[in-house]
Amino acid sequence: MINADKPHLWADDVQASVRLYNNWFLDAAPQAYRDTRQRTVEDVNQAFAFTNDLRSITPDVLLEHPEVLPALRMSTAPPIARDRLVGLSYGSKSLVETMEKKGEIPPRMKRATLESHLDSMCKVVLDLLDLDLVPWIRTGGVADPRQHEMAATVVADRLCGAISDPIVRNAQEQRQLALIENWLTKRGYRKQNHSSLLSLNEMPAGTFSFRQNVIVGSDLSVNIPVDVVIQPHQPASHSLPVLIEAKSAGDFTNPNKRRKEEATKIHQLKARYGDEISLILFLCGYFDAGYLGYSAAEHLDWVWEHRIDDLEAAGV
């Protein structure tokens, strides 16, 4: 084992991992947030353009530009979440989610039903529109450039505030994967997609892939995503690659709430591939002894980001 059987090292490793995460957060998280906010401001400005600076919030606009809905929700007082909009409009949750996540209108929804839902959503937004944020609506005038810029920035901040944790988590995940890729390429590995339709033990030696779908069911229809899959230069006798899940956490609470997720994954993997399959956690941040002890009991091992060379002990 790598670290799961060394509890005498856990306390020092936890402290080192927390320091690493905190230093990264202070250095990189604000920029990640600013970059996302800048892109979001551009999206909000486009939503304002499509709605004539919020003077034309109509079903026809939503039909043609469903992607404006998040900006409309954040232009109200108070800003409303997706589920709150569904409730207030007595609408369709699947419609709202499709509009926001895909920027599309569900193709199979009946036209009359669709128009009714969109009309109700528009009425809710219009009733709750933040007139202090968009004073030109109250006066019936035209927004001056300063008012427009301020309103777009505030709406963008509201959108980013609602997803601040995912912004930081995504930035950290990208950094972790880049770190693993750099470590592997320096050791002669090459990045190469491996089809989920092929057996894991058919993965070519010396290759790795990111976000690989791995079959776990009795047929080809059930699979799970794995962050990193690595087939060592010298594959093990069972020819199964090393599987890695990149994990980061900014506090001690959330990892312990979600620790069953990795346990479920390793159980699914072992049920299909046997006890020889392994799932390594790549950890950075707040993972305490409770999380580590639970993981070890579930036959999970881990590599700390601050000691990435431990990947060699995993056979990589």
Beta-bridge mates of residue 304: 283
**Is the predicted pLDDT of residue 290 greater than 90, yes or no?**
yes
Structure tokens at 136: 């030109």
- Please state whether beta strands 223-231 and 242-249 pair in parallel, antiparallel, or not at all (unpaired): antiparallel
The SS3 call for residue 309 is helix
- Amino acid 212 reads Q
Beta-bridge mates of residue 279: 243
- 16, 49, 152, 161, 269 from 155: Cα distances, Å: 38, 14, 5, 10, 44
SS3 content of the chain, % helix, strand, coil (to 5): 55, 15, 30
> How do residues 65-83 score in pLDDT, each as one tens digit?
999 999 999 999 999 999 9
- What is this structure's pTM? 0.73
Give me the residue spans of the domains in the chain: 7-28+166-314, 34-164
CA distance 129 to 273: 55
> How do residues 2-17 score in pLDDT, each as one tens digit?
999 999 999 999 999 9
> How do residues 5-60 score in pLDDT, each as one tens digit?
999 999 999 999 999 999 999 998 888 888 888 889 999 999 999 999 999 999 99
Choose which CATH entry (3.30.70, 3.30.43, 3.40.1350, 3.40.50) describes domain 7-28+166-314.
Answer: 3.40.1350
> How do residues 96-152 score in pLDDT, each as one tens digit?
999 999 999 998 889 999 999 999 999 999 999 999 999 999 888 888 889 999 999
> How do residues 191-238 score in pLDDT, each as one tens digit?
999 888 888 889 999 999 999 999 887 766 788 999 999 999 999 889
